[in-house]
Amino acid sequence: MSDARSLKAAWAADPTLPHYTYRVEAGLAEPTTHATARSISHAASWTMTVNERIGGNGADPTPGDVVLAALAGCHVLAIRGCAVAMGVTLERVDVTVEGDVDHRGVMLMDPAVRAGFSAIRVKVHVEAPGLAPEKLRKLLAAAERSCAVTDALRNATPLSVEIV
């Protein structure tokens, strides 16, 4: 069942089917400025480093890069999915995401400075021949609503940390 109509029908018949728990594990890696994370749900892994401004190598992605990449990728996939549902033919979709961070928060220098992003901006470029501006706005609004990463960043998703 890969098409949206079949999935929605199956999920309407059994509301337990759309529920899913993603799981990722991470641990120390060498050099000491690195961590490796792997998806338990999918065959994927990532090596990350701290930002080069605070000791990283500048060659590997930072956790912040991974968050922004997840947001950009989610937007691209959401735009594609919504375009298919709306009967829109896309020629090109480019999403650029920027995030501002003050590293004093990461380095615990000032308790008033948060460690995370203070602002995130998403810029979307869509090429869809013959698509009216109003339909493009509707497409992008629907895609923004269906992007799980946007939802997680925009709304306070409950987060707990426990010692195991």
Q: Is the confidence at residue 65, as pLDDT, over 90?
A: yes
Cα separation, 34 vs 52, in Å, equals 11
For the chain, the C-alpha Rg in angstroms (whole number) is: 19
Task: List CB contacts of 81: < 8 A, sequence separation 6 or more.
Answer: 4, 143, 146
Give residue 2's pLDDT: 63
Cα separation, 84 vs 101, in Å, equals 35
- Domain boundary assignment for the chain: 1-61, 62-155
Is the pTM higher than 0.95? Answer: no
Cα separation, 18 vs 157, in Å, equals 18
Cα separation, 46 vs 44, in Å, equals 7
pLDDT in tens, 31-41: 888 999 999 98
pLDDT in tens, 105-137: 999 999 999 999 999 999 999 999 999 999 999
Specify the CATH number for 62-155; select among 3.20.20.80, 3.30.300.20, 3.10.20.30, 3.30.470.10: 3.30.300.20
